[in-house]
Structure 1
Amino acid sequence: MRENGHLFVRQYAVAIGCLIAAAGCTAFLAWIMRDVIDKIFVQQNRTAIYSLPAIVFLTFAIRGLANYGQAVVLARIGNNIVARYQRRLFAHITELSVDFFAENRSAHLAARINQNVSGIRDTLNLTVTSLARDALTLVFLVFVMIWQDPVLSGIALLAGPPIVLMIGGLARKLRAATRQAIDINARVLASMQEAAQGITVVKAFTMEAPLRERIERLILKAEERSNKIAGITERTSPVTEMLAGLAIAGVIGYSGYRAVVYGYSPGSMFAFITALLLAYDPARRLAKLQVQLERALVNASMIYEILDMEPRQADAPDAKELKAERGEIAFRNVSFGYYPGESVLRDLSFVAPAGKTTALIGASGGGKSTIVALLQRFYDVQEGAITVDGEDIRNVTKRSLRSKIAYVPQAPYLFEGTIRENIRLGRPDATDEEIAEAARQAQAEEFILAAPQGYDTPVGENGMTLSGGQRQRLSIARALVRNAPILLLDEATSALDTRSETLVQAALDAAMKNRTVIVVAHRLSTITNADQILVVDGGQIVERGTHRDLVDREEGHYARFYGLQSGGSRRSADLAGARG
């Protein structure tokens, strides 16, 4: 980082050097106009006819090269800034807690970040170009003007104070409008992204028309806000033009009067007017600088709102590495709720013995999936404690805790890349042989080898080229290749057909050996061999035992669930045991 910092300083130094050279050349062109008029047109000096045009050409050439150099260097710096903040933002976002993503739509967040990152680049580049190019050019040209004629300079500079006062008022109005525009534009992009991702649902439910109407309303709001910003931003132009025109007209009139009445040299007058005209563009850009900076700073401040967020499940200052040699899991008097006043788990306690399988079943909303989320420390318990081999998981690093857990969610998620790359995400150092073995255990090898490029076949966006069962089997393979002592299965076979479920269940049975396994299930046929079954209802354990023990309790929750499923009412059973 330190070497990169020095390189960054050198790059800015080169850019500023080029900008100074361009500003100096612009001022020199105004300066030399006096000699062009006096020596060529008044004195008719033959030598000057050849030397002065050559000097003018050389000055333009140097200015062109300097402008090219500063533009390229600043573009590279800007691209580097964007890349740095993109890396920093992604690293920080991945450290934020799960509840952050529950509160912020992913598409809206991505669109907002995409707009905001450019704000930091614009802030730095606007500052450098304005100070090093426009401000220096203006200073050099004002020096030329004052040197040529102090009185005319005073007339020309009278336009400055009114412009500065006007810009200050406009900048304050622009700040709020820019923030609203960024938010609306992010919502537009997010809505388009969501529609593209859910296009099959959109078409299946003929949602095209209502979605178009909703997005059109957002686009209209964004257009209105952008028009308001344009109105505020460009409000400086007519006033600046009129004040500048008044100053230039006064200078031309006064200098012409002096030339006609008092016989002043035309060279000085032309040099002064040239400097004044050349100074107009940098002065106009500087007049808009504060307005432009307000827009850029709003973007930058919104980026730092994200960067300044602290993870709610941060590691304790003295957090240590989790060993998890046995993998025994214990929930001790755990209470938890996602929202204040709403408890999902209430004084819940159980022990998942090391090397054994514990199954969780129950009605929807009972808290089964919350147990899985708390064990991975996606959220912190509000009361009680969760331990692994006697270690409170709040006292160990999140990375070491999660490295000891392999997780198969109900809804499988695949990332951009190939089948091999998606399985390897479970353990980046896994060999190709280990990936193939995990695929075989997950009963995925058959369809992988039938794919056009085998393990190197791209999966498409979230695995859209694969069936639901195939995606789930790849998700299981990703968990198996992790080779962790704790295995969490959150309805891992829910997306499989009967044949695939049978094959995967056989693979999972083998994978469960010598591991601590917690299974969330709604198909009771998949957990009949579990070492213990816990029935979760209303955030508490209401029944516990083996399959045989619980079935024998004719009036129990488990016996009722089992009766529904084995009695042929599969739909009712699935609903009864849906994900909690």
Structure 2
Amino acid sequence: MARNTIRKDENTTRRSKKELILRLSVYLKPYKKESAIVIGLMLFVMLCSVLNPYLLEIAIDDKVANHDVMGLLEIGGVLLVLNLVAWAVSIIRWKKIYSINNNILLNIRRELYTHIQDLSFDFFDSRPVGKILARVVGDVNALKNLFNQSIQLLIPQLLNLALLSIAMLMLNVKLALVCIALLPILAIAMFCIEIFSRRRWEIYRKKRSNLNAFTHEEFSGVKVVQSFAKEKDTNDEFKHFVKNLKKSWNSAVRLNDMFWPLVELSAGIATVIVFSVGYKLVISGEIAIGTLIAFSMYAGMFWRPIMNLSSFYNTLVTNLSAADRIFDILDVKPDIKDAEDAEKMDKINGKVEFKNVGFAYEEGADVLRDVNFNVEPGERVALVGATGAGKSTIVSLLSRFYDVTSGEILVDGKDIRKVKLESFRNQMGIMLQDTFLFSTTIMENIRYGRLDATDEEVIAAAKAVDAHEFIIKLEKGYDTEVNERGSRLSLGQRQLVSFARALLANPRILILDEATSNIDTQTERLVQRGIEKLLQGRTSFVIAHRLSTIRDCDKIMVVEGGRIIESGNHDELITKRKAYYGLYSAQYEFLNEGA
């Protein structure tokens, strides 16, 4: 998957209008009944509108000409009642339109969010988070007007146009043909504008996505920005992104704004021609003055649906790029997914086996090559080695965040690619160096390990890892809000909370990836007993650069250059005086020098 940055425009696939409209129409299907009711209500309102000029013609040519005051009052009463009913029906129609529209957007956003959650890590590695947010929020919002106008404009206005055309032809064929004659010219002009307009809106949405990604990244790293006094530099960069966004917006809008003048110019020319021809017809006695007045009203009404349809077409062109960007994400297939014949993973005992495992990231060199090892249930295994040796990749493959390029990984004798992902990961516990806490209370952050846990179980888990003491000293104890990413807590405190969360989840296989690296020596002593309880009875994989923390592991594997070059317990490896001995000696020599 191609990588993207905040300063690089995203690549999007341009789909045909037909394909986009068909795919978007799928979201309307669950609301066919409600949409039909809305269209019915709109037809009633349109019928009322169409009757107004007809009744007015009767009032002028019949009732006024014959001095029929009572008849004129009757027609006036009918017009009043008809328009009041139409007004009430319009209110009901609008409420239903907004309800349908909001539900459709909710469904699209939910589908997009759910789909993104299922995508592999490579998807998130390949683009800034801000650009993903731009699609989930901004691009979905851009479809609001499109669906709104699809329901209230497209079909109803086409029907309205047909009704008005019939009414005008019934009044006078010559005038009707004159009024309709300019439509083909207008259609050709609008089509030409659309060709260039869509491309400009694509550029605008890419620039907006870049701005969104930049803003998200800078605010996430605001401590770094301020610590290096780079506010002015980032402000200049922000201005650059805004300038590009403004330029792309002006370019797109400038062309789009030509839609309305074209329609209004066509309507104005048609009106002038209709009155010119109509005047001659009245003078010649071919039509009455009431007919011309009624027809002029119909002509005005005739161009209203054309303007509305032009508005819909304008909205369609404006938002096609947003639909493209949404479907680009929905069309991404997860790299990691359940096989068709995948079975549910039974309760894991904890036997792990790597058989000739090899792995390489896309378009990259091999990260792991021919990795082989066996771990018995309940064993504690440490992975040590230099940064980039492949330690984290091994545990990522075991967690099935990625699939092996070659070989296989077996848990209790089952290839993890052939079991249901959810049933497998539910029994895994993973604690990373960069502990992530959610913007909620400490209680809810710990409960995330098992959502049905009681408050008492949460507190018991915190006590087991010695987190309880510092929690109860906070202003609201377990109900203390930790802010985004747990920024209110120290690094060590965040790790303690994550220990409690992992213990509450009660995983069968536990992975600690540098999980104690952010804990000071004093805090480390406090949590050793909790860690012991956490590891007890579970197959555990521990990655640690601080070798003192893994001396008691049952097996220590030294990873170098994507291979396991040495394996054994601490005493065995020290006796061999090879790679592990070198790492251990170098670390203690460094510590002694520091002392």
CA distance in 1, matches of 2:160, 2:28: 28
Check 1:570–1:372 CA distance in 2 against 1; reply closer, same or farther (3 A cut). farther
Q: Check conservation: 1:324, 1:389, Cα contact below 8 A.
A: no
- For 1:249, which of 267, 272, 296 is the aligned residue? 272
Query: Which amino acid in the other structure matches residue 496 of structure 1?
Result: I
The answer to whether the aligner puts 1:117 opposite 2:117 as a matched pair is: no
TM-score by length of 1: 0.93
Q: Residue in 2 aligned with 1:428?
A: 451
Q: Secondary structure at the match of 2:372?
A: strand
Check 1:226–1:570 CA distance in 2 against 1; reply closer, same or farther (3 A cut). farther
Q: Residue in 2 aligned with 1:318?
A: 341
> Pairwise mapping of residues 84-123 of structure 1 onto structure 2 (< 5 A)?
84-123=107-146
Residue-by-residue CA offset, 1:508-533 (whole Å, 9 max, x unaligned):
11221111110000111111111111
Q: Residue in 1 aligned with 2:544?
A: 521
Q: Residue in 1 aligned with 2:241?
A: 218
Q: Secondary structure at the match of 1:153?
A: helix
- For 1:128, which of 144, 148, 151 is the aligned residue? 151
- For 1:557, which of 561, 565, 579 is the aligned residue? 579
The answer to whether the aligner puts 1:290 opposite 2:320 as a matched pair is: no
Residue 120 of structure 1, CA deviation: 4.8
Q: Check conservation: 1:424, 1:478, Cα contact below 8 A.
A: yes
CA distance in 1, matches of 2:84, 2:58: 20
Q: Check conservation: 1:167, 1:288, Cα contact below 8 A.
A: no
- For 2:401, which of 371, 375, 378 is the aligned residue? 378
Query: Which amino acid in the other structure matches residue 102 of structure 1?
Result: D
TM-score by length of 2: 0.91
Moved more, 456-465 or 113-122: 113-122
Moved more, 365-374 or 7-16: 7-16
CA distance in 1, matches of 2:389, 2:347: 28
> Pairwise mapping of residues 403-552 of structure 1 onto structure 2 (< 5 A)?
403-552=426-575
The answer to whether the aligner puts 1:52 opposite 2:75 as a matched pair is: yes
Residue 49 of structure 1, CA deviation: 4.2
CA distance in 2, matches of 1:21, 1:535: 79
Query: Which amino acid in the other structure matches residue 426 of structure 2?
Result: S
- For 2:192, which of 143, 163, 169 is the aligned residue? 169
Q: Check conservation: 1:178, 1:229, Cα contact below 8 A.
A: yes
Question: Which stretches in structure 2 are left out of the alignment for 5+ residues?
Answer: 1-26
- For 1:566, which of 588, 591, 594 is the aligned residue? 588
Residue 59 of structure 1, CA deviation: 2.8
The answer to whether the aligner puts 1:82 opposite 2:82 as a matched pair is: no
Q: Check conservation: 2:358, 2:404, Cα contact below 8 A.
A: yes
Residue-by-residue CA offset, 1:348-376 (whole Å, 9 max, x unaligned):
11222211111111111001111110000
Q: Secondary structure at the match of 1:322?
A: coil
Query: Which amino acid in the other structure matches residue 585 of structure 2?
Result: G
Residue-by-residue CA offset, 1:474-502 (whole Å, 9 max, x unaligned):
11111111111111000111111222211
Q: Secondary structure at the match of 1:314?
A: coil
> Pairwise mapping of residues 335-374 of structure 1 onto structure 2 (< 5 A)?
335-374=358-397
CA RMSD of aligned residues (A): 2.2
The answer to whether the aligner puts 1:303 opposite 2:336 as a matched pair is: no
CA distance in 2, matches of 1:535, 1:159: 80
Q: Check conservation: 2:430, 2:511, Cα contact below 8 A.
A: yes
Query: Which amino acid in the other structure matches residue 246 of structure 2?
Result: E
CA distance in 1, matches of 2:107, 2:181: 44
Residue 322 of structure 1, CA deviation: 2.1
Question: Which stretches in structure 1 are left out of the alignment for 5+ residues?
Answer: 574-580
Q: Residue in 2 aligned with 1:180?
A: 203
Residue 305 of structure 1, CA deviation: 2.1
Q: Residue in 2 aligned with 1:137?
A: 160
Residue 50 of structure 1, CA deviation: 2.5
Q: Secondary structure at the match of 1:567?
A: helix
Residue-by-residue CA offset, 1:136-174 (whole Å, 9 max, x unaligned):
222222222222221111111111110111122222222
Residue-by-residue CA offset, 1:295-314 (whole Å, 9 max, x unaligned):
33332232222222221122
Q: Secondary structure at the match of 1:104?
A: coil
Q: Secondary structure at the match of 1:339?
A: coil
Residue 104 of structure 1, CA deviation: 2.2
Q: Residue in 2 aligned with 1:577?
A: none
The answer to whether the aligner puts 1:193 opposite 2:216 as a matched pair is: yes
Query: Which amino acid in the other structure matches residue 541 of structure 1?
Result: I
Q: Secondary structure at the match of 2:378?
A: coil
Q: Secondary structure at the match of 2:181?
A: helix
Q: Secondary structure at the match of 1:422?
A: helix
CA distance in 2, matches of 1:571, 1:346: 36
Q: Check conservation: 1:31, 1:275, Cα contact below 8 A.
A: no
> Pairwise mapping of residues 59-70 of structure 1 onto structure 2 (< 5 A)?
59-70=82-93
CA distance in 2, matches of 1:328, 1:467: 36
Q: Check conservation: 2:60, 2:290, Cα contact below 8 A.
A: yes
Residue 236 of structure 1, CA deviation: 2.4
Q: Check conservation: 2:438, 2:486, Cα contact below 8 A.
A: yes
Q: Secondary structure at the match of 1:381?
A: coil
Q: Check conservation: 1:361, 1:534, Cα contact below 8 A.
A: yes
Q: Secondary structure at the match of 2:440?
A: coil
CA distance in 2, matches of 1:239, 1:36: 35
Residue-by-residue CA offset, 1:402-449 (whole Å, 9 max, x unaligned):
122111111001123222222122122222222111111222112222
CA distance in 2, matches of 1:251, 1:529: 96
CA distance in 1, matches of 2:92, 2:158: 18
Residue 37 of structure 1, CA deviation: 2.7
Q: Residue in 2 aligned with 1:576?
A: none
Q: Secondary structure at the match of 1:347?
A: strand
CA distance in 2, matches of 1:64, 1:226: 37
Q: Check conservation: 2:154, 2:312, Cα contact below 8 A.
A: no
Q: Secondary structure at the match of 2:489?
A: coil
CA distance in 1, matches of 2:593, 2:317: 59
CA distance in 2, matches of 1:275, 1:465: 68
Residue 285 of structure 1, CA deviation: 2.1
CA distance in 1, matches of 2:50, 2:286: 26
Q: Percent identity?
A: 33
Q: Secondary structure at the match of 1:530?
A: coil
Residue-by-residue CA offset, 1:230-257 (whole Å, 9 max, x unaligned):
1222222233222221110111122223
Q: Check conservation: 1:386, 1:392, Cα contact below 8 A.
A: yes
Q: Check conservation: 1:444, 1:474, Cα contact below 8 A.
A: yes
Q: Residue in 1 aligned with 2:7?
A: none
CA distance in 2, matches of 1:97, 1:487: 21
Moved more, 214-223 or 131-140: 131-140
The answer to whether the aligner puts 1:10 opposite 2:30 as a matched pair is: no
- For 1:274, which of 297, 304, 322 is the aligned residue? 297
